[in-house]
C-alpha cells in the first residue's frame, strides 16, 4: 500500500494550464512535479503517475522560463520608455 495517492494527473493539468492560461501556475507545477517524482522514486506514491508528473513538471519549467522572460521584457520596455 502506498502512503500517498498519485498526483501525476493534477501536476499535468497544472502544467498545461500554466502554458495555456496563466504562467503564474508554472512554478507550482514545477514544484509539485518534483515532489511527486521524489515520492514515486521513494515508493511513497504509485508509479502510474510518473509520466503525468514528468510532463507536468516540464510544462511548469517551460512556463516559468516564459514568465521570467516576459517579466524581463516588461522591465526593459519600462526602462526604454523613460
| pLDDT in 10s for each residue of the chain, 82 residues | 889 999 999 999 999 999 999 999 999 999 999 999 999 999 999 999 999 999 999 999 999 999 999 999 999 999 999 8
Q: Quick check: pTM over 0.95? A: no
Residue 3 is given by DSSP the state: S
Give the pLDDT confidence score for residue 78 in this predicted structure: 96
Any domain includes 2 = no
Q: Domain count for the chain, please give it.
A: 1
Any domain includes 68 = yes
| 39 close to 8: Cβ distance less than 8 angstroms | no
Give the pLDDT confidence score for residue 59 in this predicted structure: 98
Any domain includes 1 = no
Any domain includes 3 = no
Q: Quote the domain boundaries for residue 56.
A: 8-81
Give the pLDDT confidence score for residue 1 in this predicted structure: 85
Amino acid at each position: 500500500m502506498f502512503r500517498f495517492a498519485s498526483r501525476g494527473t493534477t501536476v499535468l493539468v497544472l502544467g498545461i494550464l500554466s502554458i495555456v492560461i496563466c504562467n503564474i501556475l508554472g512554478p507550482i507545477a514545477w514544484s509539485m512535479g518534483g515532489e511527486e517524482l521524489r515520492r514515486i522514486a521513494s515508493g511513497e506514491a504509485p508509479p502510474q503517475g510518473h509520466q503525468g508528473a514528468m510532463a507536468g513538471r516540464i510544462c511548469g519549467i517551460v512556463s516559468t522560463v516564459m514568465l521570467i522572460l516576459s517579466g524581463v521584457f516588461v522591465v526593459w520596455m519600462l526602462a526604454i520608455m523613460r
